[in-house]
Amino acid sequence: MLMSLKEYEASFLEYVNKMLNIEEAIGVLYWDLRTGAPKNSFKQRSNVISQLSADVFKMSISDEMAHYLITMEEAVSAGKCSVEVEKTVNYLRKQYERNTKIPVEEFEAFVKCQAISESVWAEAKEENNFAKFEPYLTEIIGYKRKFVEYLGYTTCKYDTYLDEYEPGMTVQKLDEIFSAVRNKIVPLVKAISTSGKSFEKEEMKSFVSKQKQKEICELFLTTLGYNFDAGRLDPTAHPFATSLNLGDVRVTTKYHENNFEKALFSTIHECGHALYEQNISKDLECLPIAQGASLGIHESQSLLYEKVIGQSYEFWKCNFANLKEQLNGVLDNITLDEFYKVINNSKPSFIRIEADELTYPLHVMIRYEIEKDLLDGKIQVNELPSIWNKKMEEYLGIVPATDREGVLQDVHWSMGHFGYFPTYALGAMYAAQIKATMEKELPNYNELIETNDFQTVLDWLRVNIHQYGATKKPQEILKDVTGEELNVNYYIDYLETKYSSLYELEEVNKSI
Ligand code: ZN
């Protein structure tokens, strides 16, 4: 007997739900691996994770899935499904196409190559030996060049990989955006360097116990609206946030006993990611679209909280006295003005993940330009160390003494994750544009921040961004929220205003 459409849809959703349940299990195992699993469990735990991941992958390209998609697509075109189901079908179709275009044997060979390449990269970085990594990176790039032919592209090969992380973004748009940012930021960075000013303070390196830092991080998570009934905070080596389901969105941080600032701001960063996931509409529960719209939009939320709000003067006007009290004497000789300056100190540096807000996008651009040229075959892997150093000199005015601090610093390329880096910079640009809209729509925006009224801020973000999960494309969200597509002038204005004032660069600002 044939099933009714209603029964068929229920069966489809049950299948999708099974996939999500396995993904949740993977998420818990992964979280455990990175937050407390004993060292001797790592190998077996990794085996379990990769077996379960392979199971979900197989389900995403099975004949069963193919049938479900065809029938459900017919139902969607006949207008017989809810928007949530329609978006789920579209999401799974895209995943199906991507996962089936590459021949299975080649993909499996690539996955093996990724694992070896990543471990060789770690050794090469440790030994500062680019030559050791070179053949593996060459092989990885060979796969990426080959796969893009299977996946297809219209004008730029790189667009295909960009789209995986930031749907709808293209090289054409990014080239334009990045060149506008570069033209404004490079002179600003140079002006700050030549000003010779540094806001660094020894007190920021004072000892603060891990327990005390944990209490401070929990306090700020609560202040910002993080829901501890739907999450928790744990220590880890490389901080991350993970959404297991809408009622369980966890954050992690790393405590440095002589640098409380790191844990504090990395916690606020992960809080921004978590607030996004905690506030996705319950209507999307148990659907694969119950997640952020893209990496860029996700990053816009973490950077909005960490940098735009968390490193603003208004925020500390209200919270500095409290932090001082918590830190029990550590900051007694620092004023609010000094604290605001020290947390926004800007200085060209070699390591991307330690870079400040102003110099950060330049690190991303270097990687973006290199990735594009590698994919197009315009440059070869053996040229990377010299190209890297040349670009560092040109954009940041400094050259790393070793490849460990240069071209070998990030893990992404060893895994073939091309197209990922730009989303970090896009997040910062989206955040500036979203903030400008918030200021218009919440006329007392500054007052809200100054009085820790984060419920109003969070409500606005939930209504305008969070609730939609991945039902909208990144550019659609931006357009609906701000009334225009990505307009990089908001970001440039934000950085110029903030840093010209911090470094008292009025004259320089006028000339650029
Ligand atoms: Zn992030």
Domain coordinates in residue numbering, the chain: 5-129, 171-502
Q: How far is the centre of ligand 1, averaged over its atoms, from the C-alpha of 273 (Å)?
A: 7
Catalytic: 270?
yes
Q: How far is the centre of ligand 1, averaged over its atoms, from the C-alpha of 302 (Å)?
A: 6
- Candidate list 139, 270, 299, 371, residue with the active-site label: 270
d(Cα 64, Cα 73) in Å, to the nearest integer?
14
C-beta separation of 274 from 227 below 8 A: no
Within 103-259, residue ranges assigned H as helices are 104-127, 130-151, 157-165, 171-195, 210-224
Match 């789209």 to its residue by tokens.
163
Adjacent-strand bridge partners of 248: 245
Q: How far is the centre of ligand 1, averaged over its atoms, from the C-alpha of 299 (Å)?
A: 5
Query: 171-502 architecture in CATH?
Result: Orthogonal Bundle (1.10)
| Nearest CA among 130, 131, 319 for reference residue 224 | 319
The whole-number pLDDT of residue 502 equals 96
Three-class secondary structure of residue 500 per DSSP: helix
Q: How far is the centre of ligand 1, averaged over its atoms, from the C-alpha of 360 (Å)?
A: 13
- Contacts with 478 (C-beta within 8 Å, 6 or more apart), sequence order: 297, 430, 433, 434, 484, 485, 486
Q: How far is the centre of ligand 1, averaged over its atoms, from the C-alpha of 300 (Å)?
A: 8
The whole-number pLDDT of residue 507 equals 56
Q: How far is the centre of ligand 1, averaged over its atoms, from the C-alpha of 455 (Å)?
A: 22
Q: Which two tokens stand for residue 173?
A: 């748009």
| pLDDT values of the chain reduced to their tens digit, one per residue, 512 residues | 578 999 999 999 999 999 999 999 999 999 999 998 998 998 899 889 989 998 999 999 999 999 999 999 999 999 999 999 999 999 999 999 999 999 988 988 998 899 899 999 999 999 999 999 999 999 999 999 999 999 999 999 999 999 999 999 999 999 999 999 999 999 999 999 999 999 999 999 999 999 999 999 999 999 999 999 999 999 999 999 999 999 999 999 999 999 999 999 999 999 999 999 999 999 999 999 999 999 999 999 999 999 999 999 999 999 999 999 999 999 999 999 999 999 999 999 999 999 999 999 999 999 999 999 999 999 999 999 999 999 999 999 999 999 999 999 999 999 999 999 999 999 999 999 999 999 999 989 999 999 999 999 999 999 999 999 999 999 999 999 999 999 999 999 999 999 999 999 975 444 44
Match 């490849």 to its residue by tokens.
403
Q: How far is the centre of ligand 1, averaged over its atoms, from the C-alpha of 308 (Å)?
A: 14
